[in-house]
Amino acid sequence: MAYRREKWKGHGPTLFQIILSFALLARVHGFCDPPPKLVYAALVSPSEILNQTTFEDGTQLKYTCRQGYVRNSSRTTLTCRKNYWSPTTPFCVKKRCHHPGELNNGRVIINTDLEFGSKIEFSCSDGYNLIGSSTSWCDIFELGVTWSDPLPVCEIIICPPPPQISNGKHSSREDDIYSFGSSVTYRCNTPFSLIGEASISCTVVNGTIGTWSPHPPICKMVSCKQPQFLNGKLISGLGPIYTYKDTILLECNRGYLINGTNVIHCGADNRWHPDIPACMINACIEKPLIENADLLSHRRDEGVFSVGTVLTFACKRGYKAIPDISLTATCQEDFSWSMNEVLCKRICCPSPVTDGKTLHFTNDCKYVPWSTFTLHCKRLQRQSICQRDGTWKPKISLCESEEEADCSSPKTIENANYTITTGLFSVSVEYSCKDGYVLIGKAKNTCQNSKWAHAFPYCQALCPKPKLLNGKLSSEKTHYRINESVNVQCSPGYYLLGPQTITCSENSLWIPEGPKCEWEFPEGCEKVSAIYKIMQCLPNAQDVKMALEIHKLTLEIEMLELEIGKKRDTNQSHHHHHVAHKREKDPETHFYD
């Protein structure tokens, strides 16, 4: 760095010109301006040049390093060379303080370096209080340099004893010292519940003050009532008493959808949080009741029916379907049943045409199925029963003529055999029905004085044993009498489709129509698409195994036939090409409903 003489400012143009002339003259002859003031060194004899304004070329001035500096060169002089002082680089450098060392539980911050005039700072770790100065300077000490302040001390912060709580206590002892980071745990006396954080710790505020955080808990009596959960049930957490933070798991009944969370807990305010959810209806819940009709199709989910479910009904005994009205009910989008209020009407027999004396009915409702009437003729009485199809059986329209009976020719009864016994004054006939029929009336009749003692019987067909797969009957017989009823019970893994009780009717048919025992699909099997899911849905794993074995055998036979065909083509003398068309046959899996 070159040190140039400062320009003087005169008070007039003449003086300025004179000074400028002398300056130019000094430059020409190689003179130097007064030397600069150096921060790192001082002149040995400053008084010699106190009033000197110019220095000749070659003039040497001797310097010495100031306090806090040390020589870094053997030369400590400045020499005037061609109007400039040389050298321009410093020949004294700052002295260096020793490293201050490590600060326990804190750190030393060196901002720049450790040379004379530099500053370092001290800080303590969290939970410690700094005792001493937070800064220190590298300063002059005697003939050298050292730090102005010693290392401080980082002293751990102490908290006061933890606060006591009512109806509870903490885990510490009276003589414990609670330094930063220490913690204590509270617990409540029985039957109080702890509200808040069970553990608190010694922390620091404003950097120097020890305090406990968070606030200590409280001990409180908490009791939540049994939740009222309509159309649902408790899955876990059952108990007569619920205290703070007790948790229960809720579930809606089938056909309902939960509105809210299914996990709630007992809060400090003796209430459940979040609020107890509601179960919203999501299906048709109750099966429809149709007057004079019975439900035919139902499964294990009886009582819960999804939207679109169609139920089929059958008219009860003594009733028949109204023409052009469907015996079904459908679950609609609003979870109500779409159906006609009246599906079945009574079956009534027409009024019998008679010429007898009196007609006696055995029940209050006239001419309904299984009603009977007695026709009293002059010498005989006859009975007829109103059938399920609205006809009378046996057919009796008029009283037979009062002509004398022909005892030699007894009445022929359909589906019956008879034997005649002739006595001295009378003729007797005894009837027996063919297999599958039952005799209605007295089997034996006697003719005396050309008169039969009573009305002739008739043979009524019996009901055969109902055909029922995968179930059993309450009474096992080959034939059943008219009006005899049996109960149906399905085997495990099957559900009843149709009525549970059926009755043998007058026309030898079971009413309502025979029920079925359907296989009960495991859950999720209704919509399976993958083969492995189909396998899980089959009623018998052996069926699956057999189907796969058959499929495997079929493929092996086809491969063998293909190989034989290739060899045959190779051996043929003429090279005609035989194209074998084959169709792969997959084993079929049948599901029987």
pLDDT tens for each residue of 406-434 = 676 778 888 899 888 887 777 889 999 98
User: Does 464-519 match 158-220 at the fold level?
Assistant: yes
Stated pTM of the model = 0.44
Q: What H or E segment, with its residue span, contains residue 344? A: strand 344-346
pLDDT of 473 over the 50 cut: yes
Task: Look up residue 257 and give its amino acid.
Answer: L
Residue pair 349/357 in contact by the 8 Å Cβ criterion = no
Please give the class, per CATH, of domain 158-220. Answer: mainly beta
Q: What is the pLDDT of residue 29?
A: 56
- Hey, how many other C-beta atoms are within 10 angstroms of the C-beta on 374? 16
Angle made by CA atoms 329, 331, 337, in degrees to the nearest 5: 60
Task: Look up residue 65 and give its amino acid.
Answer: C
Mean pLDDT on 25-39:
75
Domain segments of the chain as ranges: 13-94, 106-156, 158-220, 232-281, 293-346, 464-519, 529-593
Residue pair 219/191 in contact by the 8 Å Cβ criterion = no
Mean pLDDT on 391-398:
71
Q: What is the pLDDT of residue 531?
A: 45
Q: State in Å, rounded, how far the first CA of the chain is from the last one.
A: 110
pLDDT of 15 over the 80 cut: no
Q: To which residue do tokens 């509601």 refer? A: 278
pLDDT of 579 over the 50 cut: no
Please give the class, per CATH, of domain 464-519. Answer: mainly beta
pLDDT of 482 over the 90 cut: no
Q: What is the pLDDT of residue 509?
A: 83
CATH architecture entry for 232-281: Ribbon (2.10)
13-94 CATH fold:
Complement Module; domain 1 (2.10.70)
Lowest pLDDT segment from 199-213, 480-494, 556-570: 556-570
Per-residue pLDDT reduced to its tens digit, 54-104: 899 999 999 999 999 999 888 889 999 988 999 888 999 999 999 999 999
399 vs 187, residue with greater confidence? 187
Q: What is the CATH number of domain 293-346?
A: 2.10.70.10
The share of the chain scoring above pLDDT 70, in percent, equals: 79
Per-residue pLDDT reduced to its tens digit, 320-353: 888 888 888 899 999 999 887 778 888 888 777 5
Mean pLDDT on 250-275:
93
Lowest pLDDT segment from 206-210, 235-239, 390-394: 390-394
Instruction: Give the CA diameter of the chain.
Output: 197
* Separation between Cα atoms, residue 507 and residue 438, nearest integer Å: 12
Q: Which CATH superfamily is domain 106-156 in?
A: Complement Module, domain 1 (2.10.70.10)
